[in-house]
Structure formats: structure tokens, C-alpha cells
Structure 1
């Protein structure tokens, strides 16, 4: 578990650092630019992460085949997932680029912030096919029990992204557009590296690289429950940003920083979940139900402990890292109390992310979809009540805490039931 989780931790932390670097660099251009980035980044991450099943479903499916001893079928599954990622990426670009003004307008941000949001979104959308290929290829390698290669690629990608952003935003004077171009370039470079690794593995195992329509269709069908689950999850984040935008530019700018930090913490906790996906999938593929149960218990314990530590670090470090993102005293004032809510929520987030990974590794997508829709039904009225009752950003983040607590109740009940334990190379 540790051998898989530690490299996964580094790779997952590097991913939200892309947005964190953009936020830190763009934040010093001004509050309207940071607010525009907040809206555009929410739409961009939604457009990409709604297809997170490309990584998660691929990890579980490949790991099951590895556990059953069929490496060729495992790699074939991965190649089909990458073709599906490319097709979905092209479709998203075709919709998002011309629709950028209408999409950003849904958030109700000010005219200044909306203009910057459209600029960033239109450029950054061009990198979506590369981002989806990275997701699918990462899932292949995780399923093959390789989390070190994604770590190397993610760290290199983050380093390139930060350097390009600084050079283009300030050196070339491109402003927020430079930040978007830097991120697109870094993501395309990462996709090229992953493709080279997967192609080499396919040739080693004699797996053809041409698209297989039946295999692509099977990948898409298997991903539908996780797609529903992810759409519901992203709806929570989009609604939260829309509520923050209606509270004012300072509030949505502060909210963007909070979401960035939240994502960083979530991906850190998700490292244990990634190990869970690979280990649980392999155990169930090999018919080892006792090993799957034991791994689940250990990972929940580790997730809770890591959540407590992260929460303490956020609470203590609040005054230290706020200046990294903004010099606006109004934004800082909104951030300080809301960060305390983020800190308090982390011990709940730990087991939530771990159990999410365990059930994904088991291929329990239908339950995850149903549970997330139920959680969304609890969150929406709580979030919409914040502006209606005159609440501030801190109240919105208490609604986020309620969201995580509801997820814990759903996932904990499923884990205790044992109904997720289904063995075999393919979950029937």
C-alpha cells in the first residue's frame, strides 16, 4: 500500500499545483483577473474531471486483469481507454470554445471578471484532449501497479507549467492569456510522454494500437455510473462557485483560493484511494476476498489519520500561506475564517476519499452514482440558502462540510455491508 500510495501522493499533489500556480501568478495581476480565473478554472476542471472515470474505471479494470494474470488483456483495456479519451476530448473542445461566453455568463460574475474568464477558458480548452489522454494513460499505469511513472511525469509537467506561466504572463506580458497558454503547452507535453510509455508497453505485449470500436464502446458503457457520480460531484463545486460569485468579486476570488487548496488536500488524501483502487482490483481479480477486506480496513485507518494531520496543518498555517495568493485585504478577510472550516472538515474527508477509492477498485460504480446523487440533493438546498439568508463565504463552506459528512454516511454504510466484494477478472 505504501509503495503505491507514496508515488501516487506526489503525482496527485502535482496535478492541483497546476491550478495553484496559475492562481498565485494570476492573483498578483489583480482581483478581477483572479475572479475570472476562478470561474474559468471551475468550468475547465469540470469539463476534464467529469471524465475522471477514464482514470478510475481503467485502473480498476486493468488491475482486475492483472490479478487474474492476463497482462495482454490489461494493456488492451488501457489502449481502448486512451482512444475513448481522445474522442471525448475533441467533442468537448468543439462545444466549449464557441460556448465560452455563455458558459462563463452562468456564474453571474462582474463584467470585468467575465471577460478574463472567457479569455482563459477559450485558450485552456485547447488542452482538454491532452488532459483526458493523461487521465486514461495514468489509469493504465496505476492498474499495472506503476505509480512512479505518473509521479515523474506530473512533477515535470508542473515544473514546466510554472516556468511557462511566469515567462508568458510577466515576461511576454500576455497576462491571463499567458497563463492559459502555459498550461496547455505543459499538458500536451505530458500527454506525449504518456503515449510513448503506453505504446512501448503495447508493443511488448503484442497488443495492437488501432482503435477497437467494441472495446471503446465497452469502456464507455462501464464508465457511465462513474460519469453520473462525477457529474454530481462537479455540480456541487459548480454550484458552490456560482453562489460565491453572487456574493461579490472578493468572495469568488477567495473561494477560488479555497477550492485550489481543497483540491490539493483532496488529491493528497486520494493517494491512499489510488492505492486502494489498484490493490482492491488486484485482490478481487485474484479471488482474494480476505485480502480485499483487510486492505480496506487499513486504508480507512490511514485516511483518517492523514486527514487529522492535514487539518491541523491548515489551521496552524492559515496566516502563512494567504499572502502567497493575494494582497487584497478584503479577500484575505473572507479567507481566514473559511479556511478554518476547511481544516475542521479534513478528518471527514480522509475516510471519504479512501472509501470512494475502495468501491471504485471493486467496480461498484452503480452504488457510487446513486450515493452521489443523494448527496447532491442534500447539498443544493444548503448552498442556495446561504445568499438567501444573508450568509457569507464561511457559511458556504459549512455547506461543503455537510456535503462531505453526507458522503461519509453513504460510503460507510456500503463498506460495512460487504456487497461490494465481487471476484473475477471482470465484474459481472
Structure 2
């Protein structure tokens, strides 16, 4: 087996330096922001086709995100389990977690492809009943969803490689795949340089090609590890991962139900409102992943520290990551507040969409400092294996904060202001729940099976 690209100098029993945290987070950031950056380029390319195509892309990418991110445990859960083993000095066991996750990714991914080919028109119709938007979005989903098994394989690969603190290869794998997508997307959408003029469907094909390349690179890396672990699935490991998956899937579903409901209600306010909502939501997703890079560093380091029974080190990670995350969020506040008139025009020149985007934009800016704390503490608790608490509190916050405001916005015609008020309440309630959990210290005493 080739030597791993791992930062072996990291001592899981010591409080990591800011430099160590930033080293891990920058690597995670490169992986996390690659896809949102591509999606923003995709929005800009497709936006030139008009509001209907832009709204259809928003709906299609939302659905693809829903069906692929329900298995976030392949990444986050695997990192938590793999980093614990890595902290104990068991690299072979840490890689075995990645093999188990990859088997789950392939099997479940193929099932998702088959189901979505059948139900895509119905799912799209629930969110966007407009005939023009619905038809375009359905075609986009049917093409792009074929890449789900490889998307999930990439998630599993990121999970175990973060766990063993292999920070370089995932960056290369994701950059290569999405770099290809970024190049061919405008060529296929607008028929440039002799490529077929596929319109919106060209965006889906570009997405599929890039995700496939990245997934195959992660698979190749796992094959390179087979000499020490073998590739046969360990059923005990798979069962343990599925137990953790239960909590993370319920948590993820609560997010997706909220965002699907928000998109469905925004669609009732017109095509411009839906396009504006999805545009700002893509920015929110981008910022979320940006802050999540610090949370992933916390998750890996907290997991390793707890695996080494170094509780002070885990607490030190929590404090330092939270400070860094809040500082980053304040920088983003300044960027998006000052740049609103210019940044919105990057994605569309439709006058109605630009008018509608102003309202959700300022809610988005106001939420950023809260998000800085929430995402950091999310990463700490995931690293501690506290998925059950995160599941319960996320569901409660969604039911009490986000969902009531979404549907009240439809009933009382509050528009996008009501929808984004619900998102603000959701984040504030989560902040309270996370701070309360951190103060008890119980997250440091959870044993993973």
C-alpha cells in the first residue's frame, strides 16, 4: 500500500493550533465549495436562457440535492467513526469504515436512480406546478440523477479520508471532476465551439459527467487500500453505520422537508419569486458549506481526540473553531451587505427577479453571525457522535420555527419575507439547543459502537 497523504504530526491528545485547524478546514473548504462554485457558474450560464430556465434549474438542483444528501452519514457519520479509530492508532479499521460506507453508497444510489426516473414528474410538479418550469425541471432531474451513485461514493470517500486526515487527494478528485463540468457546461447549454445546443439539459449532462469523474477517482483510491483491508463488506460495520445513519437521515430529512416546502410556497408567488428564492438559497448553501469547512475540521479533530481519550483537547477544538467560524461569518456579512447590487446581477439580468431578490438577500445577511456559531457547534457534536441529540433538536426546531412560518406565509400572503423569517427562527432555535448541549459536557462521553 502506498503511504497515505496524512498529516501524521497531528497529536490527537493535544489541543490543536489555529494553524492545524485552518490546514484541515482549507482542505475541506476546497472540496465543499467546489460544487457550489460550479452551481453558481451553472446559474449564471442557464440564467441567460431566461427566468423559466433559471427557475427550472433551481427546482432541479434542489431535488438532486434532496435525493443525494439524505445519505450525508456517508460523509459525516463515516468521518466521526473513522476519526475515532484513527485517534486510537487503528488506520486499518478507519479505512474499513470507508469500505462499508462505499458499499452502502453504490447499492442505495442505484435504487435512487431507478425510483427517480419514475417519480420525477410528480416530485417536480409538487414543487413547481407551472407547466413550463415543470417540464424543463423534469428533464434536468432525469439526466442529473443518474450520477447519484457516484455522488454518494464521493461522499463516502470524503468521509473516511477526512477521518484519517488525508487532506490532499479529496481536493484533487473533486477539483478534476467539477473542473470538467465547469468547462463543458456553457459549451453544452449554449452550443459553443461545435458542441450540441442542449439548452437546460446541457447543464444536467455537464453535472453528470463531473460527478462521475470524481466518484470514480474516490473508488480508485479505495481499491488502492485493499491490500490491508480487503474490499469485502464487514456486516457488523455496516450495521453500526446504519444505526448512526438513522439519526442523521431523520435530521437531514427535516432540513429537506423545510426547504422543499419553502420552494413550493415561493413558487405560488410567481416565477420571479421562485427564481429569487432559489438564487439566494444557493448563496446560503454556498456559505453553509464555507462555514462547514471549519466544522469538518472540528469533527475530525474532536473525533481523534475523543478516540485518544483526550477530553481537554476536544474542548479546545470546540472553542477555537467557534471563534474562527464567527470571525469568518462576520467577514461574509461585510461582503454580501456591500456587494448586494453587483452580486445579484452576476446570476441574472431579469428585472423582476432582481427586484424580488432584495428581500431574501437581507434576511440571509442577518443570519450569518448566528450561522457561524451553529455550524461550528454542529461539527463538534458530530465529531463527538452526538447524532441522536442533533436529530431530535433539529426536528423540533423545524416543527416549531421554520415550517409554521413557511405555511403561514402562504396563508397570509407574506411572500418571501415570511419564508425567510422562518429560516431565521430555525437558526436561532438551533443556536439555543446547541449551546445548551455544549454546556452539559455530555457530548464528550458518547461511545460509538
TM-score by length of 2: 0.92
Match in the other structure for 1:417: 440
**How far did residue 91 of structure 1 move?**
1.1
Match in the other structure for 1:82: 102
Match in the other structure for 1:193: 217
SS at match of 1:69: coil
Match in the other structure for 2:208: 184
Match in the other structure for 2:40: 20
SS at match of 2:75: helix
**How far did residue 291 of structure 1 move?**
0.5
Matches within 5 A, 1:174-323: 174-203=198-227, 206-323=228-345
SS at match of 1:223: helix
C-alpha contact 1:84 1:219 (8 A) present in aligned 2 = no
C-alpha contact 1:32 1:249 (8 A) present in aligned 2 = yes
Q: Cα deviation per residue 1:56-81 (whole Å; 9 max; x = unaligned)? A: 00001000000011111111111111
**Does residue 123 of the first structure (1) align with residue 139 of the second (2)?**
no
**Does residue 346 of the first structure (1) align with residue 368 of the second (2)?**
yes
Alpha-carbon distance in 2 for matches of 1:352, 1:390: 30
**How far did residue 427 of structure 1 move?**
1.9
**How far did residue 165 of structure 1 move?**
0.9
**Does residue 54 of the first structure (1) align with residue 74 of the second (2)?**
yes
**How far did residue 201 of structure 1 move?**
2.7
Q: Cα deviation per residue 1:332-362 (whole Å; 9 max; x = unaligned)? A: 0011232111111100001111111111111
Gaps of 5+ in 2: 1-20
- Which is further off, 58-67 or 399-408? 399-408
**How far did residue 402 of structure 1 move?**
1.2
**How far did residue 15 of structure 1 move?**
2.0
Gaps of 5+ in 1: none
C-alpha contact 1:311 1:342 (8 A) present in aligned 2 = no
Match in the other structure for 1:111: 131
**Does residue 405 of the first structure (1) align with residue 428 of the second (2)?**
yes
C-alpha contact 1:44 1:125 (8 A) present in aligned 2 = yes
Segments of 4+ in structure 1 off by > 3 A?
none
Match in the other structure for 2:359: 337
C-alpha contact 2:408 2:418 (8 A) present in aligned 1 = no
Cα-Cα RMSD: 1.3
**How far did residue 85 of structure 1 move?**
0.7
C-alpha contact 1:8 1:148 (8 A) present in aligned 2 = no
SS at match of 1:420: helix
TM-score by length of 1: 0.97
**Does residue 383 of the first structure (1) align with residue 406 of the second (2)?**
yes
**Does residue 151 of the first structure (1) align with residue 171 of the second (2)?**
yes
Match in the other structure for 1:427: 448
Alpha-carbon distance in 2 for matches of 1:395, 1:133: 37
1:31 paired residue among 45, 51, 67: 51
Q: Cα deviation per residue 1:375-396 (whole Å; 9 max; x = unaligned)? A: 1112111111112222122332
Alpha-carbon distance in 2 for matches of 1:391, 1:93: 37
**Alignment length (residue pairs):** 424
Alpha-carbon distance in 2 for matches of 1:427, 1:29: 50
C-alpha contact 1:75 1:202 (8 A) present in aligned 2 = no
C-alpha contact 1:4 1:146 (8 A) present in aligned 2 = no
**How far did residue 298 of structure 1 move?**
0.9
**How far did residue 214 of structure 1 move?**
3.4
Match in the other structure for 2:153: 133
C-alpha contact 1:61 1:74 (8 A) present in aligned 2 = yes
SS at match of 2:172: helix
1:368 paired residue among 390, 396, 416: 390
Match in the other structure for 2:416: 393
